[in-house]
Amino acid sequence: MSVQNEMRRVKKTNLEHSARRLRMEIESLAQTISINLDCGLKNPEELPVNEVDSQWDELKSKWADLNVTLAEIKRLEAELT
């Protein structure tokens, strides 16, 4: 049982690192999207809508990955208690 718990702890640590990385990537994408949609910098007709659409899809994908990762962390925490 101890070996299994140690494996769970290692997996949990790896997932926590992944969650941190995903949070940073999501934050970066959100900032980029915000800048790209700033009408103070560009006229509305000059906004890079196609680029923002692609960035938004990437953000949603990373957000989904983050939620899966957080659920797995929670599951491992429950198993370790």
Q: What is the domain partition of the chain in residue ranges?
A: 2-80
Contact yes or no for 19/70 (Cβ under 8 A) = yes
d(Cα 25, Cα 14) in Å, to the nearest integer? 17
Q: What average pLDDT does the segment 38-43 reach?
A: 94
Residue type, 74: K
Give, in degrees to the nearest 5, the angle at Cα 33 between 57 and 24: 80
pLDDT of 1 strictly over 90: no
Query: Which conformational region is residue 43 in: left (phi greater than 0), alpha (psi within -120 to 50 degrees), or beta?
Result: beta
pLDDT in tens, 4-18: 999 999 999 999 999
pLDDT in tens, 52-78: 999 999 999 999 999 999 999 999 999
